[in-house]
Chains A and B, each alone.
Chain A
Amino acid sequence: MMKAEPWQKAEIPGPKKALVITKPEVVVAMIKRAKRPILIAGSKVAEIDIAGEKLIDYVIKLAKAGKIPVVATAHTVGEFLKRGFKPDGFMPIVDIANRLKDPEWEGLDGNGPYDLALFIGMQYYVEWLILSGLKHFAGGLKTLTLDGVYHPHASWSFPTLSIEDWAKNLRVIIEKMEAGM
């Protein structure tokens, strides 16, 4: 299944839709090209099983490999801490989204606004709406979802993938980031 259509079928986005990521290497290139990427990890990262691991474990590997700051939303920070990983920040999804849309926000570290926000592990409809808010109102920000389902409100999204293909894509991204490619 490789469809660039919304996972929840009634969610019809409008004219501006996410570009489809056909290869994981595209994600690597996007991250490399970004000056200030940030990774937003949602409340489902510790729930979703993906090819024998929890999604949160992929997130941690990716964050480490790409040296990407992580914001844990909802109560997920505890799950990261249990795994010995301290996110750069934790706050509600609506709070981080509200800050990302503000061009004057200086970021978690005070070094300026972010130019690429990667999203992963939220309820589909939550991510849908947050990405829509950013699409319309965060002019200088590009968004990329790493979820295995198509999110048309992002700037870039995978099509809807099988769990196996999703896991494979995430592994490729992590490997290439680790290799510095």
Chain B
Amino acid sequence: MKKTRIRIDELKSDFATIKGLELSVGRVIEEEWEEPIGPTPFPSITDLREWDLKLLKRYKPFYMPFCDVCCLCTFGKCDLTGDKRGACGLNMPAQQSRIVLLACCIGAATHIGHARHLVDHLIEKFGRRTPINVGGTNVEVEAPVTRLVCGIRPRTLGDLEEVLDYLEEQLTHLLSVTHTGQEGSNIDFESKVFHAGMIDQVGMEIADIAQISAYGFPRADPDAPLVELGFGVVDREKPVIMVIGHNVPPAIEIVDYLNDLGLLGEVEVVGLCCTAHDVTRYNPKAKIVGPISWQLRAIRSGIPDVIVVDEQCIRADALVEAQKIHAPLIAASEKNCLGLENRTDDDPDKIVDDLVNGKVPGVLILDPEKVGEVAVKVALKVAPKRKKFKVIPDVSEVIEGSKRCRQCNECRRACPNDLPIPAAIKAAAGGNLDKLNELYDDCIGCARCEHACPENLPIHSFIVKAAEKKMKEETFKVRAGRGAIQDIEIRKVGGPIVLGEIPGIIAFVGCANYPKGGREIAEMAMEFAKRRYIVVTSGCAAMSAGMYKNEEGKTPYEMFPGDFDAGCLLNVGSCVSNPHIAGAAIKIASIFARRNLRGNYEEIADYVLNRVGAVGVAWGAMSQKAASIASGFWRLGVPVVVGPHGLKYRRMLLGRADREEDWYVYDARTGKKVYVGPTPEHLFYAAETKEEAMVMIAKLCMRPNDTTKGRAIKLTHYIDLHKRLYGTMPEDIHLFVRTLADLPVTMKDEITKILKEKGWKETVIPDPTLLPRLIRKSEA
């Protein structure tokens, strides 16, 4: 039962008169579950505020406004420079945190809306009583985030609806906070940012466990099939259906329809972004072209005969670009109608005729099954007509076009990565396309260069043409998203992680707004897998991690096993699979350490912050969804590193290693406060370069609970990476050494000397917590 309130202002009967009676019944919680319920099931937007304030006291926001003004209401624009306040009374820190909250609300709404659509669809198709099954007997804790936050354990698809009701309620409250004249404190905005992130994690988990359960995606399978990845894997001789987006039902219906016709394999189903991940989880014969930022080059290359878009991260000009290559487009989500006529109730063959004959450039179809039928029929009929018509110019056109370049620099000034486009165009004008070819690796595919060009040169297409050979050679493998982590895997690695002997869990997640191309993801992932960290991937980053080949022609997913274990590389799946990573940290607390997780958020987050050396890396973070995903990790005590573009989220959460007073925790055994060093030093941090990120990732894996052996292992990696990438010893080693037993044996003399210079003093290794209520014995 959900919250119920009965109010009777006045009731007169023969035997009594009642005035002002108010009855309130909260949620009725399942009592069959033996685990005692914690203090915060279904928390409100302030129930975890005290925990947030603890985090924010240590990891203070550092704001970097994009501009000086607020323009969100008609009072404005208001100049908030320095310590000015706007007409509503808000100052700049509060305004910046308000913008962060808005971004996180957008991100959370996107995932929760996605989850709602998915659950509704799956209930309609498979029934409310469809059991939740994400790993059979290998996964008893089927929904760790939902259990932790809501205090319930969902058994069926129908059980997920109650959770969604709660999420939607919270989201409404959070969004209302951003209205003019609501919250006035930046710190309270930040607390609500954490809340948005937390409910986002629940929403994503709901979406993924629903689709795993109903569609039979890999169920916590370390040996999930390897699927084909890259431009070069698409068979251009066949009709090609290209799916783009995140919400997979239409893509699955395409696969099913092809299967029914016996044509799967005769027609290529390829995808970009998370729909691609999820359709390959459903059927590994589908293929992944690449991350979301490759949409434009994928369309312009003429590969698709029909394009199906669902929701999220889809280029708003997808229809315009599809028309250029004469490929019909089907919009399949009510969130992205693209101005197209709604043909959901029309006869499929009539829709097919209209698309094939070019009467309409695209249609809106809000019935996934009908999308499947129409897309296949259109692809079969259009492919022979189109003959892979593309709008990529030939070499002579590139050269001739480049001759029109004025060298005005407008393209470079529009390029997010400041790529030296004018020099490349100049070389092309002279017949040399090598420099354009070089740009391809670092180009994020946004085409802002084209829109800036006063000569209307199709610069992005020039780059794609120059790199055509390279694109065709892009043939890689990625392991299909495995979903959850098995309970038995947690039992195996829980101890080594908490003690520090597995040096860390590193999750490469998020979008593809990379500063220097996707190869940096593969390089980082392989480096840490070789060092026997547990390396987890999801979303576009999971694709980029696979785009590398060693001397034997093996890709990273072939080089490293897919288990949740030291030295492994595992892809959990799409964006909505991210909670399996958070869930692994939660399950370490629950399965390994036997902490109750049911409605017990604060204690588990305290456990994760102090004991589980996990770090999220969103190297190409771009979207509002990435912001909310990150904030879900922050509240749980998991630091997140972003690439330099991540600074544009306008706020970091930074610790101060030089402020000793910030780094004390309680020793739960004694109640004494103990200095534990800056572990972990930051909660949200942007690095300028890959090298900087790698050193910081290793450092952020350190936790107060590390044993001496574990700390020595973590220090070894930190120091080794620092020496290799920075060319010198770190200057802060003394902050991470508690006792001399922490020192890596091979570096003992060198570090001992540094400790003496720094005036280092030995301290103790506590049973760490930030929560006084967890102290078992009072200091008094």
Q: How far is the CB of B189 from the nearest CB of chain A, in Å?
A: 16
In the complex with contacts A15-B81, A92-B692, A123-B644, A9-B452 CB distance below 8 A = yes
Contact residues of B between 445 and 459, Cβ < 8 Å to A: 452
Contact A43 B688 (CB under 8 A): yes
Contact A77 B413 (CB under 8 A): no
Q: How far is the CB of B621 from the nearest CB of chain A, in Å?
A: 14
Q: How far is the CB of B95 from the nearest CB of chain A, in Å?
A: 10
In the complex with contacts A14-B81, A15-B69, A98-B656, A77-B726 CB distance below 8 A = yes
- On chain A, the residues within 8 Å of B656 by CB distance are 98-99, 102
Which of B2-10, B30-38, B48-56, B60-68 is the contact stretch?
Answer: B60-68
* Cα–Cα distance between A79 and B689 once the two chains are bound (Å): 14
Is B725 an interface residue when CB atoms closer than 8 A count as contact? yes
**Contact for A94 among B62, B92, B416, B650, CB less than 8 A:** B62
Q: Which residue of A lies closest to B725 (CB)?
A: A75
B679-694 vs A, CB cutoff 8 Å, 1 = contact: the mask equals 0000001111101100
Q: How far is the CB of A110 from the nearest CB of chain B, in Å?
A: 11
Is A97 an interface residue when CB atoms closer than 8 A count as contact? yes
Contact A94 B686 (CB under 8 A): yes
In the complex with contacts A75-B691, A132-B64, A98-B413 CB distance below 8 A = no
Contact A13 B67 (CB under 8 A): yes
Q: Which residue of B lies closest to A102 (CB)?
A: B656
Which of A53-61, A135-143, A171-179 is the contact stretch?
Answer: A135-143
B646-657 vs A, CB cutoff 8 Å, 1 = contact: the mask equals 011010101010
Is B298 an interface residue when CB atoms closer than 8 A count as contact? no
Contact residues of A between 128 and 168, Cβ < 8 Å to B: 129-130, 132-133, 135-137, 139
Of the candidates A11, A97, A125, the one having the most CB atoms from chain B within 10 angstroms of its own CB is A125
**Contact for B68 among A16, A99, A137, CB less than 8 A:** A16
Contact A126 B62 (CB under 8 A): no
Is A81 an interface residue when CB atoms closer than 8 A count as contact? yes
In the complex with contacts A9-B414, A122-B688, A78-B728 CB distance below 8 A = yes
Q: How far is the CB of A56 from the nearest CB of chain B, in Å?
A: 13
- On chain A, the residues within 8 Å of B92 by CB distance are 136-137
**How many residues on the B side are at the interface (Cβ–Cβ under 8 A)?**
45
In the complex with contacts A75-B692, A133-B63, A14-B79 CB distance below 8 A = yes
In the complex with contacts A16-B81, A92-B685, A8-B67 CB distance below 8 A = no
* Cα–Cα distance between A129 and B62 once the two chains are bound (Å): 11
Is A181 an interface residue when CB atoms closer than 8 A count as contact? no
Contact B688 A93 (CB under 8 A): yes
- On chain B, the residues within 8 Å of A82 by CB distance are 727
In the complex with contacts A14-B69, A75-B726, A97-B62, A126-B644 CB distance below 8 A = yes
- On chain A, the residues within 8 Å of B696 by CB distance are 92
Contact A124 B418 (CB under 8 A): yes
* Cα–Cα distance between A15 and B65 once the two chains are bound (Å): 13
In the complex with contacts A10-B414, A98-B654, A77-B688 CB distance below 8 A = no
B451-474 vs A, CB cutoff 8 Å, 1 = contact: the mask equals 010000000000000000000000
Q: How far is the CB of B18 from the nearest CB of chain A, in Å?
A: 57
Q: How far is the CB of A17 from the nearest CB of chain B, in Å?
A: 9
**Contact for B726 among A8, A78, A137, CB less than 8 A:** A78
* Cα–Cα distance between A137 and B416 once the two chains are bound (Å): 26
Q: How far is the CB of B443 from the nearest CB of chain A, in Å?
A: 16
- On chain B, the residues within 8 Å of A109 by CB distance are none
* Cα–Cα distance between A97 and B93 once the two chains are bound (Å): 16
Is B82 an interface residue when CB atoms closer than 8 A count as contact? yes
Q: Which residue of B lies closest to A42 (CB)?
A: B688
Q: How far is the CB of A77 from the nearest CB of chain B, in Å?
A: 5
Contact residues of B between 403 and 424, Cβ < 8 Å to A: 410, 413-414, 416, 418
Is B731 an interface residue when CB atoms closer than 8 A count as contact? yes
- On chain B, the residues within 8 Å of A78 by CB distance are 725-728
Contact B647 A125 (CB under 8 A): yes
- On chain B, the residues within 8 Å of A98 by CB distance are 62, 652, 654, 656
Contact residues of B between 485 and 537, Cβ < 8 Å to A: 515
Is B549 an interface residue when CB atoms closer than 8 A count as contact? no
Is A7 an interface residue when CB atoms closer than 8 A count as contact? yes
Contact B66 A75 (CB under 8 A): no
Is A12 an interface residue when CB atoms closer than 8 A count as contact? yes
In the complex with contacts A7-B413, A75-B695, A136-B69 CB distance below 8 A = no
**Contact for A9 among B413, B645, B688, CB less than 8 A:** B413
Contact A74 B63 (CB under 8 A): no
In the complex with contacts A8-B413, A75-B695, A78-B726, A129-B66 CB distance below 8 A = yes
* Cα–Cα distance between A130 and B64 once the two chains are bound (Å): 6
Is A90 an interface residue when CB atoms closer than 8 A count as contact? yes
Q: How far is the CB of B87 from the nearest CB of chain A, in Å?
A: 15
- On chain A, the residues within 8 Å of B83 by CB distance are 139
Q: How far is the CB of B449 from the nearest CB of chain A, in Å?
A: 12
- On chain A, the residues within 8 Å of B82 by CB distance are 16, 135-136, 139
- On chain A, the residues within 8 Å of B416 by CB distance are 125
Contact A74 B688 (CB under 8 A): yes
Contact B654 A74 (CB under 8 A): no
Contact residues of B between 69 and 118, Cβ < 8 Å to A: 69, 79-83, 92-93
Contact A126 B647 (CB under 8 A): yes
- On chain B, the residues within 8 Å of A137 by CB distance are 62-63, 92-93
- On chain A, the residues within 8 Å of B692 by CB distance are 43, 73-75, 92
* Cα–Cα distance between A39 and B731 once the two chains are bound (Å): 19
Contact A14 B645 (CB under 8 A): no
Contact A123 B515 (CB under 8 A): yes
Contact B731 A90 (CB under 8 A): yes
**Contact for A129 among B64, B69, B410, B726, CB less than 8 A:** B64
Contact A95 B452 (CB under 8 A): no
- On chain B, the residues within 8 Å of A122 by CB distance are 688
- On chain A, the residues within 8 Å of B63 by CB distance are 133, 136-137
Q: How far is the CB of B511 from the nearest CB of chain A, in Å?
A: 16
Of the candidates A81, A105, A137, the one having the most CB atoms from chain B within 10 angstroms of its own CB is A137
* Cα–Cα distance between A81 and B726 once the two chains are bound (Å): 9
- On chain B, the residues within 8 Å of A90 by CB distance are 726, 728, 731
- On chain A, the residues within 8 Å of B647 by CB distance are 94, 125-126, 129-130
Q: How far is the CB of A102 from the nearest CB of chain B, in Å?
A: 8
Contact residues of B between 651 and 675, Cβ < 8 Å to A: 652, 654, 656, 658
Contact B689 A129 (CB under 8 A): no
- On chain B, the residues within 8 Å of A75 by CB distance are 689, 691-692, 695, 725-727
Contact B66 A92 (CB under 8 A): no
**Contact for A135 among B81, B687, B689, CB less than 8 A:** B81
Contact B728 A94 (CB under 8 A): no
Please give 4 more A-B residue pairs, beta carbons under 8 A apart, in addition to A74-B689, A77-B727, A78-B725.
Answer: A43-B689, A74-B687, A95-B654, A125-B648
Q: List 18 A–B pairs whose Cβ atoms lie within 8 Å, in order of A's numbering.
A: A8-B418, A9-B413, A14-B68, A15-B79, A16-B68, A74-B692, A75-B689, A75-B727, A77-B726, A78-B725, A90-B728, A92-B696, A95-B654, A132-B64, A132-B66, A133-B62, A136-B65, A136-B82
Instruction: Please list the residues of chain A having a beta carbon within 8 angstroms of any beta carbon in chain B.
Output: 7-16, 42-43, 73-75, 77-79, 81-82, 89-90, 92-95, 97-99, 101-102, 105, 122-126, 129-130, 132-133, 135-137, 139
Smallest CB-CB A-B distances: 7 pairs:
A14-B68, A78-B727, A75-B691, A133-B64, A129-B64, A74-B688, A43-B688
